[in-house]
Amino acid sequence: MAAERLSMRTTQEILRLKWACGLTNRQIARSCGVARSTVAECLRRATAAGLTWPLPPDLDEAALAARLYPPPPSGLPARPQPAWADLHTDLRRPGVTLQLLWDEYKAVHPTGYQYSQFCVHYRRWAARLDVCLRQEHRAGEKLFVDYAGQSLALTDPATGARIETALFVAVLGASNYTYAEATLRADLPAWIASHIRAFEFFGGVPALLVPDNHKGAVLRPDRYEPDLHPTYLDCATHYGSAILPARVRRPRDKAKVESGVLVVTRWIVAALRHRTFFHLAELNAAIGELLTRLNTRPFRKLPTSRRALFESLDRPALRPLPATRYVFAEWRRARVHIDYHLVVAEHYDSVPYQLVHAEVEVRLTATVVEVLHQGQRVASHVRSAQRGGFTTDPAHRPPAHQAYLAWTPARLVRWAATVGPATAGLVAAVLASRPHPEQGYRSCLGLLRLGQQYPVPRLEAACARALALQATSYKSVQSILRTGLDGQPLPPPPATRPPVLHLHLRGPAYYAGQEESDVDGTDR
């Protein structure tokens, strides 16, 4: 992978592992899934740019990319690379030499390497071929983690059904000090929680975590570029550790935990095979007792134990635990809708309107929703469990939306009162004539605009005329002002017709008498 094509998250991880964790370029390359030359080039560019760790808080991903990876200058194209693996296989055939393979290579690629460079590049490639190496582990450096193939089971006290559990195993490289616990599941939350309890059991944090290609550690296993799970990477960053996943189908990369799983299976799983457990806490208490015996048991070929080596080697070298526990968080990707909201767990949360149609990252905890764009947090909300509900920060709305929503019926009436009582009465009548007051907002805002086009006395007179005519609409007032009717005298109020008197009509006295009859119980 070329340095120019690194993502900014990978670049920041390389700088953190080098300057904060003190790892070697080889370890950083394996942890990030890139070549050592890429790591060296990234560090060289960062040093040349004058960067230090931690990075400045105002340096976002776009600015970091501009400082580290400017557009490459135009130059000669890269030379075509031969298929080194195929050449290496062909060299095993009788009579095949590097000279013959180079002649065939030049026939296909006339602009390729000359013979001397062809041989140099091939020998460099061959020097990186896998060899069997007995690993030497430094104190406090690596923690190997995995799930055991064989585990223990619980018994349902109500039905007697068998409930399978998962057995998490963690082994420190230098001392072989072992931690084990049973969990009801082996999913991502259980994987992260087991790591947290393992760190607290050891009383510190190792420099490197070496997991198998568990789905909670690696999203897409790959020999060269494993895609780490963002939650697992977030947890490791919180504890100041790095992740160095084992290669696919390379058990030697995690030989310590393979051996630890075997020892736990023999000394714990087998020892508890005849016992019945009804609760997980009861099972883990029994595992803890046998785990203490396992760690204090002397080695066969060494005059010491796992516990003694841990106290003398690993414990002093482990990094201290952070002040707070890691809060489990899920990471998701989402796209911002046209209403500047995104869907998170069937709930709508707002982001700044400038990010409409942008793809963002979402960090979900049990209580908080954080939205990040290009590595910067752009929104944070209290997490809501209401399905289909909306959580909106007013500052995320466009200015026009903010201005529109700032109007309320009371505020509209107060504004109209500054013009005159007729205008206030007309605004109140407009709002009352709609099923919902919000439906009259546009008409009232139209009246506000008329106040900018015509003198205030004319607007007040026009509103008084509209009230007299019971024409409670924006267009009626606009028409009165355009035609100059506001200067005409108001029409007389409609004459009230006298009440009709008839012998068969009951007047107010009748109902007053009925009320007295109801009170004293008499019939009048």
For position 197, what pLDDT does the model report? 93
Cα-flanking dihedrals φ and ψ of residue 479, to 5°?
A: -65, -40
Question: Are 391 and 417 contained in the same domain?
Answer: no
With respect to residue 517, please indicate whether it lies within any of the assigned structural domains.
Answer: no
**Going along 137-237, which residue ranges are E strands?**
142-147, 153-155, 162-164, 166-172, 178-183, 208-211, 218-220, 227-228
Give the ranges where 280-420 is alpha helix by DSSP (H): 280-296, 306-309, 315-317, 399-405, 409-419
Query: Tell me, what DSSP letter sits at residue 490?
Result: P
Residue 190 and residue 102 share a domain: no
* Residue 155 counted as domain residue: yes
- According to the model, what pLDDT value does residue 133 have? 37
Q: Please classify residue 125 by burial: count the beta carbons closer than 10 Å to its beta carbon, then call 0-12 exposed, 13-18 middle and 19+ buried.
A: middle
pLDDT digit string, tens, across residues 321-349? 999 988 888 888 888 887 788 888 788 88
Please check whether residue 136 lies inside any domain of the structure: no
Shared domain for 282 and 174, answered yes or no, is yes
DSSP H or E stretch at residue 52: none
Q: Which of 366, 398, 430 corresponds to the end of one domain?
A: 398
pLDDT digits 0-9 by tens, 4-40: 457 788 888 888 898 888 889 999 989 888 889 888 9
The answer to the question of residue 505 being in a domain is: no
Please name the residue that has the structure tokens 């707070």.
Answer: 324
Per-residue pLDDT of 180-238, as tens digits, reads: 999 998 888 899 999 999 999 999 999 888 887 777 677 665 665 667 888 888 898 89
Say yes or no: 155 and 262 in one domain. Answer: yes
Which pLDDT does position 80 carry in this prediction? Answer: 85
Is position 207 within any domain? yes
pLDDT grade for 302, boundaries at 50, 70 and 90: low
Query: What is the residue-averaged pLDDT of the chain?
Result: 80
Number of domains in the chain: 5
* pTM for this predicted structure: 0.51
In the predicted model, what is the mean pLDDT of residues 149-157?
Answer: 85
Residue with tokens 């008839």: 502
Q: In the chain, pLDDT over 90 holds for what percent of residues?
A: 9
DSSP of 379-400, one letter per residue? EEEE----TT-EE--GGGS-HH
Model pLDDT, residue 410: 81
Both 201 and 310 in a single domain? yes
**CATH number of the domain within which 45 lies:** 1.10.10
Residue 105 falls inside a structural domain: yes
Q: Which residue from 192, 220, 488, 147 is spatially nearest to 365, judged by alpha carbons? A: 192
Q: Are residues 287 and 165 in the same domain?
A: yes
- Report pLDDT for 515: 42
Residue 495 lies in a domain: no
What is the rounded CA–CA span in Å between residue 107 and residue 357?
50
DSSP letters, 153-177, are: EEE-TTT--EEE-EEEEEEETTT--
For the stretch 398-433, pLDDT in tens is: 877 666 666 678 878 888 888 889 888 988 888 888
Task: Please state the rounded mean pLDDT for residues 269-298.
Answer: 89
pLDDT tens sequence across 73-101: 545 567 888 888 777 666 655 566 888 88
> Could you tell me if 299 and 282 lie in one domain?
yes
361 Cβ contact list (under 8 Å, min separation 6) = 230, 331, 332, 333, 371, 372, 373
Cis ω before 457 (30° cut-off from 0): no
CA distances to 139, 457, 484 from 205, rounded to whole Å, are 12, 78, 84
Separation CA 235–CA 417 (nearest Å): 60
Same domain, 119 and 160: no
Residue ranges making up the domain that contains 472 = 407-487
Same domain, 169 and 263: yes
* Domain shared by 173 and 290, yes or no: yes
Same domain, 154 and 115: no
Q: Are residues 93 and 188 in the same domain?
A: no
- Alpha carbon 355 to its chain centroid, in Å, reads 16
Q: What is the CATH number of the domain that holds 298?
A: 3.30.420.10
| Structural domain includes residue 498 | no
